Amino acid sequence: MNEQASRALSVGKPRKITLNSCFKAANECKLRYRVLYGGAGSGKSMNVARDYILKLSDPKYKGANLLCVRKSENSNATSTFAELCKAIKDIFGRGYSKIWEIKSAPCRLRCKVTGNKIVFRGCNDLNQIEKIKSITFSSGNLTWIWVEEATELLQSDIEILDDRMRGQFDNPNLYHQMTLTFNPVSARHWIKRVFVDVPSDDVFLHHSTYLDNKFIDAEYHKRMLRRKESDFEGYRIYGLGEWGEMSGLIFKNVAIADVAQEFSHYDDVAYGQDFGFNHANALLALGIKDGNVYILKEIYVTEKDSSEVIKLAADWDKSRLMFCDSAEPDRIQMWSRAGFRASGALKGAGSVKAQIDWLLQRKIYVDRGCVNTINEITQYRWEKDRLTGEYTDEPANFNDDAMAALRYGVQLWRLRDSVGKLRRGEVKYHFKSLEPKRETDVSVI
């Protein structure tokens, strides 16, 4: 246990906690930028959370305050806030509430011993950015910033955050520092260019993979091996922590934008949903205008059953058609009973390819707020044939829940186009390979 830890722990009734030794240098570093990147499950988030709780509980760092940032403010609740709460409970055990005050809605944390605070923000829109600009703390300054899943942010977001870390400290032990944690999703990402490619005395770089994480379970190793077999490009990024390649990407016709949220702006609006529990349940609101597709908003959650997801969609307009994974008729029924116009999307040989083909023929605009959809769509790639190394015409079957929701959600528009082509004699047997299995599948045409 290091000096910092024992000092913090002396104020409560601590448990013995362990840190992954590969992060030791990162935790000791005082440079302005601490960049922790690499594969999934390497222990980055848990390490950063524990590191901050130990430091913020330590009287040596009195006057320090931490701002945690995700692109979408709400994502903090299930990521940074949850990790930090877990760290508090792991470190201080049952007596944690004597040391830390935990408040949700809005999420905030305060160390009762040092007075140090942790606040949570997003930078999705101007409102949220204004909230970041106006952050003040009753004692001390903004000292540290943790940007989790930093590849979701724009370079301009980071600059605004960087600007907030300024001023003198009364306590000589304090220093400004921004910590970025992320998976290296794309070799073209600005983070690589700005923080990784150009060596700088201000930047501490740290790379890790699940193989460096001594606490990861055997199941996780197996999962990575499965991914290696089924999605090698994904394994390179999330397993080996290598920068993602652009090759094999399915959707290059994508623009991230501020997408109009009023349904009246579009020729039509529909919903697409892929059900999930262990993997994500993805629900998208999609618009079509002048032949282009717009992704307006998303609900993207794991470990929630349908009744919980239905609650999350309480303010969604129920008059719109919703196309769902037809393999789950019970869940479709639940949504129908909740008042949504839910039905199963057509499935059958060639249907995925047909859906993707249709989407490739137009521009897809994704609202900046749909961070999970952006994450998927910018990595959605064709499966590689393991023997020939050639891309197949099947998408890799990984991290594709929002992509399935997108494919399902455009069904009506796609089929309308197909019927038009059929009538005009441009195609003869468009539905030849589609084998609708249930009546609800065809009734939407």
Ligand X SMILES: Nc1ncnc2c1ncn2[C@@H]1O[C@H](COP(=O)(O)OP(=O)(O)OP(=O)(O)O)[C@@H](O)[C@H]1O
Contact positions vs ligand X (CB under 6 A): 18-20, 40-47, 183, 213, 215-216
State in angstroms the smallest separation of the CB of 300 from Mg ion: 16
- Residue 45 or 213: which CB sits closer to Mg ion? 45
- For the purposes of burial, counting CB atoms within 10 Å of the CB of 130, is it exposed (0-12), middle (13-18) or buried (19 or more)? exposed
Judged by DSSP in three states, 382 sits in strand
Query: Binding partner of residue 43 among Mg ion, ligand X, none, CB under 5 to 8 Å per kind?
Result: ligand X
Choose among Mg ion, ligand X, none what residue 216 binds, the Cβ cut-off being 5 to 8 Å by kind.
Answer: ligand X
Number of residues that bind Mg ion (CB under 5 A): 1
CB of 224 to ligand X, least distance (A): 11
Distances 429 to 422, 425, 432 between C-alpha atoms, Å? 8, 10, 5
- Taking CB under 5 A as the rule, does residue 208 contact Mg ion? no
Q: Facing residues of 232 across strands?
A: none
Q: Which residues contact 10 (CB under 8 A, 6 or more apart)?
A: none
User: Which C-beta is closer to Mg ion: that of 45 or that of 76?
Assistant: 45
Q: Where are the beta strands (DSSP E) in 197-335?
A: 203-208, 254-257, 268-274, 281-289, 292-301, 321-324
CB of 155 to ligand X, least distance (A): 21
| Minimum gap (Å) between residue 106 Cβ and ligand X | 23
Minimal CB distance to Mg ion: which residue? 45
**Residue 260 Cβ, how far from ligand X at the closest point, in Å?**
32
CA angle 152–123–114, rounded 5-degree value: 105
Give least dist CB 168 to Mg ion, A. Answer: 33
Q: Minimum CB separation from ligand X for residue 147, in Å?
A: 13
Alpha-carbon distance values, 158 to 178, 229, 379 (Å): 9, 36, 22
**For residues 179 and 411, which CB has a smaller minimum distance to ligand X in the complex?**
179
Residue 18 near which of Mg ion, ligand X, none (CB within 5-8 Å, type-dependent): ligand X
- Give which of Mg ion, ligand X, none residue 150 binds (C-beta under 5 to 8 Å, depending on kind): none
Q: Which two tokens stand for residue 88?
A: 């508090």
* Adjacent-strand bridge partners of 341: 321
Locate tokens 């009287």: which residue? 59
Cβ proximity to Mg ion: between 47 and 128 the closer is: 47
356 vs 396, which CB is nearer to ligand X? Answer: 396
Decide: 144 and 52 in contact? Cβ < 8 Å: yes
Instruction: Choose between 45 and 326: whose C-beta lies nearer to Mg ion.
Output: 45
27 binds, among Mg ion, ligand X, none (CB under 5 to 8 A by kind): none
Task: Give the long-range contacts of residues 6-9, CB within 8 A, separation 24 or more.
Answer: 7/58, 7/59, 7/60, 8/53, 8/54, 8/55, 8/57, 8/58, 8/91, 9/57, 9/91, 9/92
Closest to Mg ion by CB, 149 vs 401, is 149
Question: Residue 108 CB, nearest distance to Mg ion (Å)?
Answer: 21
Q: Could you write out the three-class secondary structure of 144-172? A: EEEEECHHHCCHHHHHHHHHHCCCCCCCC
Residue closer to Mg ion (CB basis): 149 or 441 = 149
Sheet holding 292-301, edge to edge: 254-257, 364-367, 292-301, 281-289, 268-274, 321-324, 341-344
Contact 326, 437 (CB under 8 A): yes
Instruction: Pick between residue 45 and residue 399 the one whose CB is nearest to Mg ion.
Output: 45
Minimum distance from residue 18 beta carbon to ligand X (Å): 6
User: Could you identify the residue written with the tokens 């609006």?
Assistant: 269
Nearer to Mg ion, 45 or 116 (CB): 45
> In the bound complex, what is the minimum distance in angstroms from residue 39's beta carbon to ligand X?
7
User: Choosing among Mg ion, ligand X, none, which partner's interface includes residue 40 (Cβ < 5 to 8 Å by kind)?
Assistant: ligand X
Amino acid at 158: I
Residue 373 interacts, among Mg ion, ligand X, none and using kind-specific CB cut-offs from 5 to 8 Å, with none
List the interface residues with Mg ion, window 16-45 (CB under 5 A): 45
Rounded Cα distance between 142 and 77, Å, is 20
Dihedral sign, Cα of residue 208, residue 214, residue 216, residue 217: positive
Which spans of this chain sit near Mg ion (rule: CB under 5 A)?
Answer: 45
